[in-house]
Chains A and B, each alone.
Chain A
Amino acid sequence: MRELTYSEPQIWIAIAFVIISALLVTAFVAIGRSSRREVPFEQVKAIGYGVRTWWLVGLVTVLTVGVVVSLFMLPYSNAQEPVGAAQEIAVKGGQYYWTVAPNEVAPGRVRFSVTSADVNHGLGIYSPKGHMLGSVQAMPGYENELDIQLDEPGEYLLSCLEMCGAGHHKMHAILKVAER
């Protein structure tokens, strides 16, 4: 493989995760400490049930927003607008190689048509700078189509992302995006 670098959106996902986890840890510490002095259970319930309603409302809101926003950002090609002249790239995985045809394209929109010659594989796409852009599965008997914008010229790394045998971590290929 190659050296990797952090990129969006993973940075934001990780930050969100760290913030929420820190809040949870804070709450746990506070609850742990509270247990050292006695508060009558009736009183805990009186306040706790009130807080719980807001906790429920807040959580449902956040989850709903997350799910609804996600529905507008799906990677599935049929969920996106027709892209017109996307360049087709046929990708086939096998133990332990990729065939990529063509293996050089112009910058712009591409459509990966991905399948497998034998077992399940996963097509992970890394930019020339080592950003993890996304992935799609390569399943025998099925053709998965992924539309993606590849504007940056250079060598994209295609790495297997589904356990496919003892050579799984050695299954890489290069896709070249030409200079504009």
Chain B
Amino acid sequence: MHATATEVVQQQPQTHPLPHEQGPATVVERRVAWLCAGTGVALFLVMMLLGIAMRMSQADLVGIPDAWYYRLLTLHGAGMLVGALLVMMGALWFVLRPVVEMSAKRLLWAYGGLVVGAVLVLVASLVGGFATGWTFLSPLPFHPLGGWATWATATFFVGMLLVGAGFFLYCIELFTVTTNRYGGLGGALGIPYLLGRSEQAPPPQAIAATVIALDGMIASAGGTAIVVAMLNRTIDDGVVINALWAKNLTYFWGHTIANLIIYLAAGAIYVLLPRYAGRAWKTTKPLALGWLATLLFVATAFSHHLYMDFAQPGWAQYVSMGASSAAAIPVAVVTIYTGMMLIWGSLYRWTLASTLFYLGFLGWAIGGVGAVLDSLIPVNFTLHNTLWVPAHFHTYLLLGVMMWALAFVAHLTERAAGRAAPRWVAIAVPALLVVGGYLFVGAWYAAGALGVPRRYAEHPPGTQAYDVVGSVGALLVLAGVVLFLVTTVRLLLQARGRRAETLAPERDPEPRRVLVPPVTTNAGFAVVSGLAVVCALSLLPEAVELAERSAEAHHLSHAAQFALGGLVGLGVASRLALVRPVYGGMTWWALLAVVAAPVVMLLVMTPAIYDPLEGNEPLHLLFHWGIVVLGLITGWASVRFGRASGVAIFVLSVAMGLAFAGGVGG
């Protein structure tokens, strides 16, 4: 007999029958979900052990040498974020695939980038001793004082580049499928529906995916620029990176991605929570409006990491303060509030999975309060870089995201095993996580208000009591996670051989839908040609000479040459696509081209590479034409992604070059 998770859950007493859609998954979806969630949770476990070691060393319960503390810190931060990203990328993919066509193969590329990147970061920190914190603020990586070698720096940044590329690929996938499926960017954001022009709106997880993907792509462009700049500086000591520029880009990337993790999770929750509440989470106008606001606020909040850099332009600080506070509104008023409405009086089915789903909201909410308080500039003046900061982000990462990650694994387990975890486990695991987790972050909030700095291998005298309480809390969390893992593994083993879960037949292959190319109208072609002519001026001998005056000018001219090639590629390929339609489907070469070509363009902007050519006219000319060709490849390939996605990819690749010119000299 087949017993689906739904049926089993239904057998529990005093609960209503789940009315609808357990949304059977296909074999592929199930595998992808397990792969991402499994890898992510494995990373969590390892990084958690490192975290506990660090915490206990601050409490003087174990001894870790200072240099090792900072290595572990670097690895823990980067590893945890990659783990959390992996689980949530998988979860959103899992709930999105039933409504839009997505390719598992392409997801695996993204997965590979993140995993290989994480391994390189691990090697750089544990073997190479690299220890700058995961935020790698320039120029610290180049001032190791004997702590690590150049190869470790290079390994770390190649790792970061791969992590970034993996997430970029994932975002391209989401953005391309949603915008092509729902009639462009506006359609995928639900704008016609908001304006009352259409009754139909994309489902909530698709709107979320569009917003996340667009912000993720924009952030990735910034991330590529800073990481490649750091690589250039690793190769060539002559490269000079402006420290303020570097810090801006580091946080534009790092903050935004870390923040997006929780939004990825929210997108998945839209589908998973209703399965336990028995009420559907539908797209409403507040929801669509909320995500539009989120699109804006997530992309503009990062500068709160630079509040205490008085050299940062004032407007950036004020925009950030507004955006950081305002970002709480859609979260609190739309997502969390609606979630609570779905649960209120619903005869919610309290299983291990659903309890953890519920508790994750609390972590998000409380962590958000800690964050909003700290995003007020006068408050930040006294809390900046104190333990208040890890306190608030562990509240929503550990007690929000990790809670949801475990919930997702439990959900998959309950489905696969056809039964829920024993009742005592469904109580004990959440209890351990909540008691331990809030004790753990509570000690940090208190110590942060006291002024204890974050990222200190040793804490001030008289504060060890906080560290001991924090360590005890962390150990309770570990106990909860171990009990959780033992339970899920046992459930899965018991279910082996028994096909408990009904699986959906594999979905149709991607339809060969005709893509709308980026440029279609005569006016559009005129604009593209005009811009190309302007960019072509950068190839004139006078311009080339002017560009020799400073490295920044030189980089600017490279950006223009890249844009020239890109515009030509974009225009010609669009024109051809109008004559002979391009059908849907991102090919591997197109993906490779749009990710790799801009990176190569940035990588060669290293004086050690181009200076030797300067004396040799033909070679120098060839070098510049090479940049034009890289642009051509990017522009040509971007047409394969349809209108919204193609334009975004192309514009962002040029933006990388421009951003580079803004802060990298030599």
Contacts and interface: CB of A to CB of B under 8 A. Distances in A.
Interface string A31-47: 11011111111011100
State the 6 A-B residue pairs at the shortest beta-carbon distance, nearest first. A39-B345, A132-B451, A1-B460, A35-B348, A169-B456, A73-B378
A162 B386 CA distance: 10
B233 interface: no
A132 B460 contact: no
Interface string B304-327: 001011110010001001100110
Interface of A: 1-7, 9-11, 13-14, 16-17, 20-21, 24-25, 27-28, 31-32, 34-41, 43-45, 48, 52, 55-56, 59-60, 63, 66-67, 70-71, 73-79, 95, 118-120, 122, 124, 126, 130-137, 139-146, 159-169
Contacts of B147: 165-166
Which has the most chain B C-beta neighbours within 10 Å: A38, A39, A52, A70? A70
A141 to B, nearest CB: 5
B612 interface: no
B205 to A, nearest CB: 20
Nearest to A72: B378
The A interface is mostly helix, strand or loop, or mixed, namely: mixed
Given A35-B343, A144-B311, A70 B376 contact: yes
13 contacts: A3-B461, A6-B450, A9-B379, A13-B373, A31-B344, A63-B326, A124-B451, A131-B451, A139-B243, A139-B247, A139-B309, A144-B310, A161-B453
Nearest to B133: A163
B99 interface: no
B216 to A, nearest CB: 26
B363 to A, nearest CB: 10
A132 B329 contact: no
Given A28-B361, A31-B340, A132-B451, A168 B70 contact: yes
A142 B345 CA distance: 57
A122 B308 contact: yes
Contacts of A137: 306, 308-310
B303 to A, nearest CB: 13
A16 B370 CA distance: 10
Given A2-B460, A24-B365, A126-B451, A38 B310 contact: no
Contacts of A56: 329, 333
Interface stretch (B136-144, B178-186, B477-485): B136-144
Which has the most chain B C-beta neighbours within 10 Å: A67, A77, A130, A133? A67
Contacts of B318: 71
Given A28-B365, A119-B143, 18 more contacts: A4-B452, A17-B369, A24-B362, A24-B366, A35-B277, A52-B333, A63-B326, A70-B321, A74-B377, A79-B314, A135-B381, A142-B311, A162-B385, A163-B137, A163-B140, A165-B140, A166-B145, A169-B457
A100 B59 CA distance: 32
Contacts of B243: 120, 139-142
B570 interface: no
A97 to B, nearest CB: 12
Interface string B464-493: 000000000000000000000000000000
B310 A165 contact: no
B365 A63 contact: no
Which has the most chain A C-beta neighbours within 10 Å: B145, B366, B378, B446? B378
Contact of B383 (A10, A78, A136, A159): A10
Contacts of A76: 310, 314
B460 A134 contact: no
A166 B140 CA distance: 11
B445 interface: yes
Contacts of B135: 163
B572 to A, nearest CB: 43
B550 interface: no
Contacts of B144: 165
B200 interface: no
B16 interface: yes
Contacts of A126: 451
B108 interface: no
Contacts of B457: 166, 168-169
A133 B277 CA distance: 48
A74 B451 CA distance: 19
B145 A95 contact: yes
Given A63-B372, A134-B381, A120 B445 contact: no
Interface string B89-133: 000000000000000000000000000000000000000000111
Contacts of A167: 66, 145
A44 B344 contact: yes
A110 to B, nearest CB: 15
B311 A124 contact: no
A136 B329 CA distance: 29
A133 B384 CA distance: 11
Nearest to B279: A41
A142 B143 contact: no
B66 A63 contact: no
Given A3-B462, A56-B329, A59-B332, A120 B137 contact: yes
Contact of B453 (A40, A60, A159): A159
Given A37-B345, A63-B328, A135-B384, A168 B456 contact: yes
A66 B310 contact: no
B459 to A, nearest CB: 8
B341 interface: yes
A169 B143 contact: no
Contact of B376 (A67, A140, A146, A161): A67
Interface in B54-96: 66-67, 70
B31 interface: no
A133 B382 contact: yes
Contacts of A41: 279, 345-346
Nearest to B340: A31
A33 to B, nearest CB: 10
Nearest to B277: A35
Nearest to B326: A63
B347 interface: yes
A10 B66 contact: no
B242 interface: yes
B345 A124 contact: no
